[in-house]
Chains A and B, each alone.
Chain A
């Protein structure tokens, strides 16, 4: 039931889908400063130590003037390197600040809008859809599409192309059978991954070991690798470690489980998924596209039992693109006198009945209503069982130039005498 309150925007709850918009830049800022901190610490300590050592040696006359100059050059090189790295981090920080500012301004626009009917709401909501679509494209690896759309809509500051492109690069390297990039990423985020109790690094190391076994290199290499990277985890992942140990005895053509599946190429996809999960979790992003969340909630809210009913005529209107896909149908000039929908006389074709979403919505439950809600009033029953509002029938009769006392079915086009109509009472 549409009550008046439904068109009011509840600001407290309207930005649920938009949480990552501000959370992600914040997470990235933190990640950025962690990396900066790491580099500062590393280089600072090195330079401090070297300076101290140089001073001591110089006082003790253990170092010549040339030694001191050389050491100073070394320190300078280090500091210049640090400066270069820090400048990139500072640049990234500025970028995140810029994005946050743009995003909060975008969200803030909504606080001036109080109802869904406001024209400003429409443009805001359209932009939200564009954001959701870009997010969807990025998560599915359609990076170029995401880029073009974001540029076209002038909203590069509102979407996270860089983050996802970096992620999909690593993902792709895994799908192509290389663990190096993912391992480097693990190394960068060691602490956080440990906090999350992620098994990603362990799995990557296992894969390295599996590849060593697959290749023709001596078994000692594989054993050395296992000692260093896998055995330390034998308490955390006992079963896996046992399987890994057993793998030494089997070649890559073994039919025996679990070794055959360890050698399977499907593991790379599994690793790619594992990486994606860890990456999204680390950045506090939902595991699947926001558009999925919006759609599964929105399709249900809009869906009615009529949308996939066999009786309602609107539903087959929506299937034109299915039907015309049979070869030869082509572009019809004059289509069959397709029973004309109620659309022109009511409002417009229902979005769930429209081709775009009709099949997608088949799988979701329809909305719950506790009260009848009729779009038209003064209901009249035609002899063929269809019910319309009196005004609709009068309008349509006039537009169709019917004789006085005649009405025409809005959907089927059948004509009836007005005296054959019956009043319908909805309680």
Chain B
């Protein structure tokens, strides 16, 4: 790795050097010189007598020739610099051909378009998203029209009319795909999310609290404490008073304001969060010197706003059925991480002339970092196969888990012996489980 680091650095260094080499502008300067020579000669010829013309023009030959050589040298110099770039690239950034013999994504352009549109909306790039959607739609309409033309052109021929028909129905179904995606609704949702996040950044918790309250049933069902966390932060924020929170110094701010806020808002949290509310109330007693009190933790809110912002984002997206991080971002990142394995594999199979025949599962491992694993994976310890809907994990009475197919193979009659402990069991006692 250390050597690679120096590789990119070396490349940067080389580029820096090459940047200083003469460029085409050198040749332009020399062309300028020729223009000067020629126009000087022209003036001379025009103003002097006829007899001097031959001399002037003869004298012009050599300087012009030299200047032309200089132009050529300038060109060569620039070309040499480019060659150096090529060499530097080959040395420090050697070309590794990408696997481009087969494009698995080519048939799913409309799905990719939708993923991109949703990604843009999620990133808050609303204007880019709307440009993109309208460009995609107008291209689709154009293609549809072209298909219709073709359809009419070749209506006379039975077979071709059929083909055109097929093409037409494909595009229209893809078109349906994109228009069924509610960009307007989604945009409104994400616009709301961005507004709330913006306010959170400006330390205004109210819009987030309102949202959490409106969605409290769902949030609670998910076991989320978001509403309470936001309200508690609001209490602390008010408690800190105008010198910290910059809000107007009135009865709604400071310790009094915090108390007021708690009285009117904490009632419905009492069942679930009584102990936390008690702690907040007790902290009031230590108000003059919170930092030295047992409650200092509650009032240390350095990261609190960014913490609630990220749990807000997560909850907001989850309620929409979306993952908190952009899937397109995750997939592209995972793609870059897994690509070396894919390339290694394609190279090897190419060399051997063999091909992977099962299309359900990849033939090689593509390790991803922990943070990119979202489901538990169960690999049957006997068959070493991942369990699927068709071959689900089964728990046998002793508590060990095997894949269904493994279990069937282990069976002698209706009985089997656990491969991991001495116990035996009946096939009817094995239970399918959902991990």
Contact = CB atoms under 8 A, between A and B. Distances in A.
27 contacts: A5-B367, A11-B1, A17-B339, A26-B86, A32-B24, A40-B72, A44-B72, A75-B38, A82-B31, A107-B8, A137-B132, A152-B127, A265-B150, A288-B100, A299-B335, A301-B337, A301-B362, A314-B375, A321-B321, A334-B218, A341-B318, A349-B317, A370-B379, A372-B379, A387-B434, A425-B400, A427-B400
Interface stretch (B248-256, B286-294, B347-355, B380-388): B380-388
A86 B399 contact: no
Given A110-B8, A114-B1, A87 B57 contact: no
Interface string A1-18: 111011110111111110
- 7 nearest A-B residue pairs (beta carbon): A298-B335, A350-B374, A351-B327, A7-B369, A294-B335, A301-B338, A11-B4
A396 B223 CA distance: 6
Interface in B70-125: 71-72, 75, 78-79, 82, 85-86, 89, 93, 95-96, 98-100, 103-109, 111-112, 114-116, 118-120, 125
A295 B370 contact: no
Given A94-B23, A375-B373, A375-B376, A294 B103 contact: no
Contacts of A105: 12
Interface string B20-42: 00011101100110110011011
Contact of A427 (B1, B64, B340, B420): B420
Contact of B24 (A3, A33, A306): A33
B343 interface: yes
B200 interface: no
B180 interface: yes
Nearest to B14: A104
Interface string B144-156: 0000011001101
Contact of A30 (B75, B82, B360, B389): B82
B45 to A, nearest CB: 5
Q: Which of B34, B114, B334 gathers the greatest number of chain A CB atoms within 10 Å?
A: B334
B28 A86 contact: yes
B332 A368 contact: no
Given A19-B93, A51-B64, A265-B149, A300 B57 contact: no
A196 interface: no
A72 B38 contact: yes
A404 to B, nearest CB: 16
Given A65-B45, A97-B19, A351 B323 contact: yes
A292 interface: yes
Nearest to A21: B93
Given A55-B60, A105-B12, A337-B221, 5 more contacts: A140-B109, A145-B135, A255-B156, A297-B334, A306-B435
Interface stretch (A124-132, A199-207, A228-236): A124-132
A360 B1 contact: no
A281 to B, nearest CB: 11
A368 to B, nearest CB: 4
A293 B218 CA distance: 38
Interface stretch (B46-54, B202-210, B257-265, B299-307): B46-54
Interface string A368-386: 1111111110010100011
A359 to B, nearest CB: 6
Contacts of B334: 297-299, 301-302
A15 B173 CA distance: 37
Interface residues of A, number: 176
A391 to B, nearest CB: 13
B175 interface: no
B362 A365 contact: yes
Nearest to A52: B61
Contacts of A8: 1
Contacts of A163: none
A28 B364 CA distance: 37
Given A48-B68, A129-B328, A297-B338, A305 B75 contact: no
Contacts of B153: 265
A136 B131 contact: no
Nearest to B118: A356
A7 B19 CA distance: 35
Contact of B375 (A75, A116, A304): A304
B336 A108 contact: no
Contact of A104 (B12, B39, B218): B12
A108 B401 contact: no
Contact of A83 (B4, B7, B32): B32
Interface stretch (B181-189, B239-247, B276-284, B409-417): B181-189
A287 B100 contact: yes
Given A76-B39, A107-B8, A355-B321, A307 B375 contact: yes
B76 to A, nearest CB: 9
A22 B89 contact: yes
A241 to B, nearest CB: 25
Nearest to B85: A26
Nearest to A29: B82
B96 A366 contact: no
